Structure 1
Amino acid sequence: MNRIALTAVGGAALFGAALYTFSNVTGETDRVVLRYDDHATIALGTSVYEVNCASCHGANLEGQPNWRSAGEDGRLPAPPHDETGHTWHHDGDTLFQLTKYGVGALINDPDYASNMPIYEGVLSDEEIIAVLSYIKSTWPEEIRASHNEMENRQ
C-alpha cells in the first residue's frame, strides 16, 4: 500500500511540475508570459494570426491606414502590431485580456463599439498567447527589451 501511495504522490508531483514548467503564466503572479523565443509557440501563433488577425491587422502586422483616426462609423481602424504601433506599450496581461474579452471589457464599458472581435470561445488561451508571442517575436530587439523591462516592473 505504501509503495502505491508513494508512486501516486510522485506521479502527481511530476505532473504538477510539468504543468508549472510548460504553463503560459508564471506560478508566482499568474501573469501571462509571452514566449517570443519559443519556435513551436511562434509557429502556432503565426498560423493562428494568418487565419484570424491578418485580414484586419495586415499580413505584415502593418495595420489599417489612418489607424489613429475614427472612421465614418466612429470606430478606430485596426492598429499595426509591428514596431510602428502601440501594441508593445501594453503588457502581456493587457494584450491577452483585450484579445480574449474585447476592448469594452478591458475598459469596463460594455457599450464601447469596436471592430475587434472577442476571441473568447473562438481561440484557446494557448492560441491567444501564441499569437501575442508571434507578434512580439517580430519586434526589433530594443523594443522587445523595452517590453520585457515594462513587464518586469509590474
Structure 2
Amino acid sequence: MKPIYLASLAVAITGLAAVVYVVGIPSRSVSAVASIFASNASEAMLAQGQILYQENCASCHGKSLEGQPNWREPDADGRLPAPPHDESGHTWHHPDSMLFDYTKFGGQVTLATMGVEMESGMPAFGERLSDDQIRSVLDYIKSTWPARVHAAQAEQTRADEEARNK
C-alpha cells in the first residue's frame, strides 16, 4: 500500500477507536452533550475534549468532574484539593480566558499574574496539550453544565472580553 493510504487508514481507525472509547464512558452521550451546548464546539471536538479530560484531568478532578473530597479545605501542604468541574464547583464562575490560562500555564503562574498569592496544585498543560486541545477540554467541561450555569459563565466571559477590549 502507498504511504498516504496507510496514513488515511490509521486516521480512520483512530477516529473509530475514539468513538468507541467515548461511547463506553458512563456519562451523557456526546450527541446529547452537543445538542445542549451552545457554542462553536462540534460533536467531534466535544468527543476529543471528553477523551483528553479522562486522560489528563480525571485523576485529580474526577472521572465525572466531581473533584476531590473537601476541595474547599486546604490540605496538609496548604493547597486546596482539585475542585469539581461540574455545576457544584466554581469553575463556571470564571471567564474562558482564566480557565484557558489556568490550564495552559498552571494555577501558580496564572494566579501570580493576577496578583494573587496562593498555593495552587494545578500543573501547566501547555507543553502537553495544544491550545485547541485545551479548548476542547474546556468545551467538554462546559457542555456538562445546566443551561443556567452555562449562561452565567458565558456572561462572565462576555464581561471579561468587554473589559479587555476597553
Which one of 33, 51, 55 corresponds to residue 51 of structure 1? 55
Which one of 97, 100, 115 corresponds to residue 96 of structure 1? 100
Normalising by structure 1, what TM-score?
A: 0.72
Note the C-alpha offset of 1:111: 8.2
Unaligned 5+ runs, structure 2: 1-37
Unaligned 5+ runs, structure 1: 1-33
Structure possessing the higher relative contact order (Cα contacts under 8 Å, 6 or more residues apart) = 1
What's 1:38 paired with?
42
* Correspondence list, 1:129-144, <5 A: 129-144=135-150
What's 1:78 paired with?
82
Normalising by structure 2, what TM-score?
A: 0.67
Note the C-alpha offset of 1:149: 2.1
Residue identity opposite 1:100 in structure 2: K
| Distance in structure 1 (CA, Å) of the matches to 2:59 and 2:39 | 24
Which one of 113, 126, 151 corresponds to residue 120 of structure 1? 126
Q: Contact 2:108–2:122 at 8 Å: present in 1 too?
A: no
Q: 1:104 to 1:115 in 2, by over 3 A?
A: closer
Q: 1:73 to 1:65 in 2, by over 3 A?
A: same
What's 1:6 paired with?
none
Aligned residues: 121
Greater gyration radius: 1
Residue identity opposite 1:142 in structure 2: R
Runs of 4+ in 1 over 3 A off after TM superposition: 34-37, 109-113
RMSD: 2.1
Q: Match of 2:112, SS?
A: coil
Note the C-alpha offset of 1:112: 5.2
| Distance in structure 1 (CA, Å) of the matches to 2:157 and 2:101 | 15
Q: Name the structure where helix makes up a greater proportion of residues.
A: 2
